[in-house]
Copies of this chain bind each other. A is one copy, B any other.
Amino acid sequence: MVQQNIKVAVDAVVFGYKEKTLKVLLIKRKVAPFIDSWALPGGLVLEDESLEEAVERELKEETNVKVDYLEQLYSFGKPKRDPRNRVISVAYFCLVKPERHHIKADTDAKDVAWFDMQDLPELAFDHEHIIEAATKRLQSKLTYEPIGFDLLANKFLFSDLEKLYTTILQKPIDRRNFRKKILSFKILEELEEKVSEGRGRPANLFKFNKKQYFKLQEEGFLFDIK
């Protein structure tokens, strides 16, 4: 048997929703190759940690972020994707609530920043490709799982939720039908608090009731927004 010398890395596509736009978290690389390029946070997996632990560790080390949602996206393994050694990267799909948007370039990165998805810089490796896959995952998941709530603050306005859907899916939504549909799921709590956004009628705050969602899910309920 030929001795195998392939390295295993993880990379994280971390989405955040801020100022009514979708953002992705990038770091500025401190080491070759692609030194000074923007790239996804990530790095080699250690001997004794799971893949998920590796992602969480790298995110902590490089960006100081702790994500609210994390799932495996896809593994990228073309022989030449890293110009030096062969590296297989297991990419993860992550979501962060605004409360946790505070980032900090830590020991392992020169800089960290949220980039608007409409305005990404040149990226290292095949990271552009990975972000593309993550975006598709985000768009499709948004329609059949309540992951939008992992991008919003705990208390949010209905109009925030609606704007998030139109922004990410890039198509208009009928406000009345949308509200009717979501409310019919009975997974939101309407709070007493109201918020006035400067002008216009003050709006009600809502909260996602995750426990209730899990309960309904057990009973066969399927979240589905077309």
Determine the interface band of chain A, counting residues with CB < 8 A from chain B.
20 to 34
Known: A88-B90, A90-B88. A8 touches B77 (CB 8 A): yes
22 A-B contacts (beta carbon < 8 Å)? A4-B44, A4-B45, A5-B47, A6-B7, A6-B45, A8-B8, A8-B77, A8-B88, A45-B77, A47-B79, A49-B79, A50-B77, A50-B78, A50-B79, A51-B75, A51-B88, A72-B74, A72-B75, A75-B75, A77-B90, A88-B88, A88-B90
Known: A72-B74, A88-B90. A48 touches B79 (CB 8 A): yes
Number of copies: 2
Using CB atoms, name the residue of chain B closest to A48: B79
Q: Contact mask A152-181 → B, CB, 8 Å, 1/0? A: 000000000000000000000000000000
Residues of B within 8 A of A7 (CB): 4, 6
The listed residue (B6, B8, B49, B75) touching A47 by CB distance below 8 A is: B6
A residues sitting closer than 8 Å to B (CB atoms) are: 1-2, 4-8, 44-51, 72, 74-75, 77-79, 86, 88, 90
Using CB atoms, name the residue of chain B closest to A8: B6
* B75 and A90 contacting across the interface, CB-CB below 8 Å: yes
**Min distance, Cβ A85 to any Cβ of chain B, angstroms:** 10
Residues of B within 8 A of A77 (CB): 8, 45, 50-51, 90
Residues of B within 8 A of A8 (CB): 4, 6, 8, 77, 88
**Min distance, Cβ A21 to any Cβ of chain B, angstroms:** 26
Residues of B within 8 A of A51 (CB): 75, 77, 88
19 extra A-B contacts, CB within 8 A, seeds A4-B46, A50-B78, A77-B90: A2-B47, A4-B7, A4-B8, A4-B45, A5-B47, A6-B7, A6-B8, A6-B45, A6-B47, A8-B8, A8-B77, A8-B88, A48-B86, A49-B79, A50-B77, A51-B77, A51-B88, A72-B74, A75-B90
Q: Give CA–CA (A101, B72) in the complex, Å.
A: 32
